Amino acid sequence: MESKHIISTLSDIASRCEFELTRLSDEPQIRALQASFLGAKGEIAQLQKLLREIPAEARKEVGAAFNGAKQRITEACAKAIEAKRGLEEERYLHSRLDPTLPGRAPTGVGHLHPLSIVMYDIVDVFVSMGFDVATGPEIETDYYNFAALNFPADHPARDMQDTLFVKEGETLLRTHTSPVQIRTMLRRPLPIQIVAPGAVYRRDDDATHSPMFVQIEGLLVDQGISFADLKGVLETFIHIVFGRDVKLRFRPSFFPFTEPSAEVDIQCISCKGDGCRLCSHTGWIEVLGSGMVDPNVLEGVGVDAERYTGFAFGVGVDRIAMLRYEGISSIRLFYENDPRFLSCFRR
């Protein structure tokens, strides 16, 4: 082969290598290509065997062409490797770490249910006034839920229409938290000062009633307790929860287990007493039932009603929550557990 031909072939080989490099995507492939061009069995090595046949005067020029081609290939491969590394680094930075992006808020982190938030807040208010926390079962017997609370045998609450029975004549879902009064008086020594939060059940279902809802029962029994104590405790509670300015009223009422009894209304916080949909145009909203514990109830659990008196109350937690978070259209929202609704109460 003529030396001119060898020189142009070497240049072609280097160009082919440069072209093939443009199609390779990673470093091991580039290194393999480099080895195939420059290795002992590569095209350049084959050509080098012809060097012996080249006349001595041309060898210098042809030798320089060999070195030039090898250098072009080595440099092109090195450059390609460097470029791929730079690209990878850039890709890495883009895929994993872009410090210019705004932070992402963590999702799926749990938080308290709005009714739990309100329930704990109410319990805290009473605990700060010296009340202890007591609990009782949600499945009750007629004795604790009705009989011991002075409900007459033919009271309508005992009807299938109003109460959810687990086993008729035996067990039922408690219709209020008042059975915890009985359980506590049978178990604890006097004086007693407790609040009992928990779920209760009734055959009710509309925008303001759910078949399950939450109450907080209160009971204070000691010597010398009067209706003035009941008023003082409940007024303090309402003022802490709804603010000092809110007006409240004690409205005479009836419960079989308290005498006298009163329901407590607060002035509608939406219309301030003018009358609106929230308060059924009365200007007032009922938030709890209360009264002095009926002597029949005290005697029934072995408490001397001549020496001891007490008061009790039952707060509707759902009602308080609907007032505190204005704009909740239905009590059922609290029980459907739609995460879009619940996430509004994260804190």
Give the binding site for ligand PHE (CB under 6 A).
176, 178, 217, 255, 258, 289-291, 312-314
> Which lies closer to ligand PHE via its Cβ, residue 32 or residue 186?
186
CB of 339 to ligand PHE, least distance (A): 30
8 Å CB contact between 283 and 267: yes
- Given its phi and psi angles, is residue 150 left (phi above 0), alpha (psi -120 to 50 degrees) or beta? left
Question: In this complex, which beta carbon is closest to ligand PHE, that of residue 335 or of residue 345?
Answer: 335
Q: How far is the CB of 253 from ligand PHE (least distance, A)?
A: 8
Give whichever of 157 and 333 is closer to ligand PHE, judged by the CB atom.
157
DSSP state string for 35-84: HHHHSTTSHHHHHHGGGGGS-HHHHHHHHHHHHHHHHHHHHHHHHHHHHH
Least Cβ distance, residue 216 to ligand PHE (angstroms): 10
Q: Which is nearer to ligand PHE, 62 or 312 (CB)?
A: 312
Q: Report the SS3 class of residue 280.
A: coil
- Crossing angle, helix 114-128 and helix 227-242, to 10 degrees? 130
**CB-based burial of residue 154 (10 Å sphere; 0-12 exposed, 13-18 middle, 19+ buried)?**
exposed
**Of residues 114 and 289, the one with the C-beta less far from ligand PHE:** 289
In DSSP terms, which residues pair with 215 in a beta bridge? 198, 316
CB of 109 to ligand PHE, least distance (A): 35
User: Taking a C-beta distance cutoff of 8 angstroms, is the pair 24, 81 a contact?
Assistant: no
For the beta sheet containing 171-173, the strands, ordered from the edge strand earlier in sequence to the opposite edge, are 139-141, 171-173, 165-167
As measured in angstroms, the least distance from the Cβ of 219 to ligand PHE is 8
Least CB distance from residue 316 to ligand PHE, whole Å?
8
Nearer to ligand PHE, 140 or 217 (CB): 217
Report which DSSP code applies to 278. Answer: T
Which residue number places its CB atom closest to ligand PHE? 314
